[in-house]
């Protein structure tokens, strides 16, 4: 069974550009989480969904960040406009209520120049 799939794996963009990160959760999982990891701040939860509905977006840094989950098999995290301080590794994870375990994707390394 395929794990969590993220694309792209690497993204380099210039300040001010729009960036879209994509995630496909494990089939059958009803929770989806977006995290950001940096050396300075560690692993931060940005937002999570349950049954495609955003439950907690209090970790989203500012209005430049938005996330959607149009269906059970796809989610996007968008940054518009991007800034150099957004450079980080962004992880997507999925889980089910009964297993409680989050399974992580390989991450997207974003560099904003």
Residues lying near another protein in the complex (CB under 8 A): 4, 31, 33, 42-43, 45, 48, 50, 56, 91, 93, 95, 97, 100-107
**Which residue number, 15 or 43, has a Cβ lying nearer to another protein?**
43
Taking the complex as a whole, how short is the minimal distance between the CB of residue 84 and another protein, in angstroms? 21
**Which residue number, 50 or 66, has a Cβ lying nearer to another protein?**
50
Q: List phi, psi (to 5°) of 85.
A: -70, -5
Taking the complex as a whole, how short is the minimal distance between the CB of residue 14 and another protein, in angstroms? 23
Does an H or E element contain 69, and which? strand 65-71
Residues in the chain, overall count? 113
Taking the complex as a whole, how short is the minimal distance between the CB of residue 63 and another protein, in angstroms? 22
**Which residue number, 81 or 106, has a Cβ lying nearer to another protein?**
106
Distance of CA 70 to the CA centre of its chain: 14
Sort strands 108-112 and 103-104 into parallel, antiparallel or unpaired.
unpaired
Pair 9, 106: CB distance under 8 Å: yes
């Amino acid at each position: 069974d395929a794990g969590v799939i993220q694309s792209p794996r690497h993204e380099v963009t210039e300040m001010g550009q729009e960036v879209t990160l994509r995630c496909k959760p494990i089939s059958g999982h009803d929770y989806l989480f977006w995290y950001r990891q940096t050396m300075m701040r560690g692993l931060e939860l940005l937002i999570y969904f349950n049954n495609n509905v955003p439950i907690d977006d209090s970790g989203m840094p500012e209005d430049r960040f938005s996330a959607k989950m149009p269906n059970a098999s796809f989610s996007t995290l968008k940054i518009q406009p991007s800034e150099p301080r957004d450079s980080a590794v962004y992880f997507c994870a999925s889980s089910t209520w009964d297993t409680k375990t989050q399974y992580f994707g390989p991450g997207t390394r974003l560099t904003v120049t």
